[in-house]
């Protein structure tokens, strides 16, 4: 009997082509639509996503089922997300969703249904080297999603296939069109899964009351008010409501720092302002995909999704991990993930704790 694979179907073209490829390779393929977020308002993308998934599976002749992980998502991802925002940080719920939901709850559920492995439409590649599973970047440099997968462990990766990791997005779409998949031209999804295309600040306003405070420049000059520190992200340009006119130049303003103790937002003018850059950061919740910390001291890192690799050195002592970048980095943001690479191998990473 052929290997039984359960594909996580999102309704998008990437998971659709993943299922298609596995079917063509002769696997025994079943699809599951994961619902991780209950809609509490009129805003609903999951229903449309499900309908798209249904049409794809019908075209491919594959069975589709839905599983609801809303409780798990809320407890293990969303509560953390809110806690981080309340603490003035900017969390990355997608990395946690992969670790806790897609590659834990969903994986276990699929195994219970008799699957040998699961598959998802991530742009990343896997291979074995001396008994260790290595996570490689996807071949499409522009779409590589290894950044979001750095929290996975050996067990999770052993049970996973990324069928489109070798392909470019363009090839994925071309193949989908060629094979008549009804979602071949569906728009790429952007943003955090549960927020979708909604306005992010508006979404946060559902959970946080405004907590206005003073806004000052890095030189200590008062330039206005802010609505609440959680509504601002370091490096953010829009939404300051002060235009460019307060400085000598007409350059835009950026969020440079948050003073949580006194509820003050600190801004700097001009994208190149030195206060927006840091060369060093400390990391918490460090995770290495191979279970072992790397022997390399010089490697590359990304501090945000789709950032170009940045040369850095790492220093590990007593559980603390310090990263020193060759070049200063714009908007190093506590709460976001820093992910390490050796060439195209994703080694692991952690949460940015602080910068200096």
CB of 48 to another protein, least distance (A): 9
CA dist 334 and 81 (Å) reads 13
For β-strands 160-161 and 310-317, DSSP reports them as: unpaired
The CA-based diameter of the chain, rounded to the nearest angstrom, is: 73
For 252, other C-beta atoms within 10 Å of its C-beta total 16
Catalytic residue (one of 31, 57, 97, 312): 97
Whether 193 is catalytic is yes
**Residue 42 or 219 having the CB closest to another protein:** 42
**Residue 50 or 208 having the CB closest to another protein:** 50
**Residue 112 or 249 having the CB closest to another protein:** 112
Cβ neighbours for 291, distance < 8 A, ≥ 6 positions apart: 153, 154
* Residues engaged in binding another protein (CB under 8 A): 33, 35, 44, 46-47, 49-50, 54, 63-68, 109, 111-114
Q: Please, are residues 288 and 348 in contact by the beta-carbon 8 Å criterion?
A: yes
CB of 172 to another protein, least distance (A): 24
CB of 109 to another protein, least distance (A): 8
**Token match 């719920």: residue?**
93
CA dist 38 and 32 (Å) reads 17
Catalytic residue (one of 57, 193, 312, 346): 193
CB of 76 to another protein, least distance (A): 18
**Residue 33 or 81 having the CB closest to another protein:** 33
Whether 57 is catalytic is no
CB of 46 to another protein, least distance (A): 5
**Contacts by residues 239-248 (CB-CB < 8 Å, ≥ 24 positions apart):** 239/201, 240/215, 240/267, 242/215, 242/267, 244/269, 246/217, 247/217
Cβ neighbours for 284, distance < 8 A, ≥ 6 positions apart: 350, 351, 353
List the end-to-end C-alpha distance of the chain, in Å, as a whole number: 57
**Residue 69 or 150 having the CB closest to another protein:** 69
Q: Which active-site residues does the annotation give?
A: 97, 193
């Amino acid at each position: 009997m052929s290997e039984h694979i359960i594909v996580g179907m999102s309704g998008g073209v990437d998971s659709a082509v993943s299922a298609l490829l596995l079917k063509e390779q002769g696997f025994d393929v079943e699809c599951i639509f994961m619902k991780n977020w209950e809609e509490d308002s009129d805003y609903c993308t999951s229903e449309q996503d499900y309908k798209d998934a249904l049409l794809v599976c019908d075209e491919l002749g594959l069975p589709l089922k839905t599983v609801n992980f809303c409780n798990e998502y809320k407890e293990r991802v969303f509560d953390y997300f809110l806690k981080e925002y309340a603490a003035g940080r900017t969390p990355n719920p997608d990395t946690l969703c992969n670790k806790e939901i897609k590659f834990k709850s969903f994986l276990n559920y699929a195994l219970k249904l008799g699957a040998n492995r699961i598959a998802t439409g991530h742009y990343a590649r896997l291979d074995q080297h001396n008994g260790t599973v290595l996570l490689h970047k996807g071949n499409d440099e522009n779409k590589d999603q290894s950044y979001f997968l750095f929290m996975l462990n050996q067990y999770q990766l052993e049970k996973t296939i990324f069928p489109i990791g070798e392909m470019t997005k363009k090839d994925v779409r071309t193949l989908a069109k060629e094979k008549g998949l009804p979602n071949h031209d569906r728009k790429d999804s952007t943003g955090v899964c549960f927020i979708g295309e909604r306005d992010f600040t508006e979404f946060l306003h559902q959970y946080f009351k405004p907590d206005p405070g003073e806004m000052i420049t890095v030189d200590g000059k008062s330039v206005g008010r802010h609505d609440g520190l959680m509504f601002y992200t370091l490096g953010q340009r829009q939404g300051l409501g002060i235009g460019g006119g307060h400085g000598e130049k007409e350059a835009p303003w950026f969020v440079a720092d948050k003073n949580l103790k006194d509820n003050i937002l600190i801004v700097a003018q001009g994208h190149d302002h030195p206060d927006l850059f840091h060369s060093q950061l400390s990391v918490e919740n460090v995770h290495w995909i191979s279970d072992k910390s790397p022997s390399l001291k010089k490697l590359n890192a990304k501090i945000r999704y789709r950032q170009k690799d940045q040369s850095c050195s790492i220093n590990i002592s007593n559980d603390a991990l310090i990263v020193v970048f060759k070049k200063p980095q714009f908007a190093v943001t506590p709460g976001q993930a820093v992910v390490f690479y050796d060439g195209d191998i994703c080694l692991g990473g952690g949460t940015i704790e602080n910068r200096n």
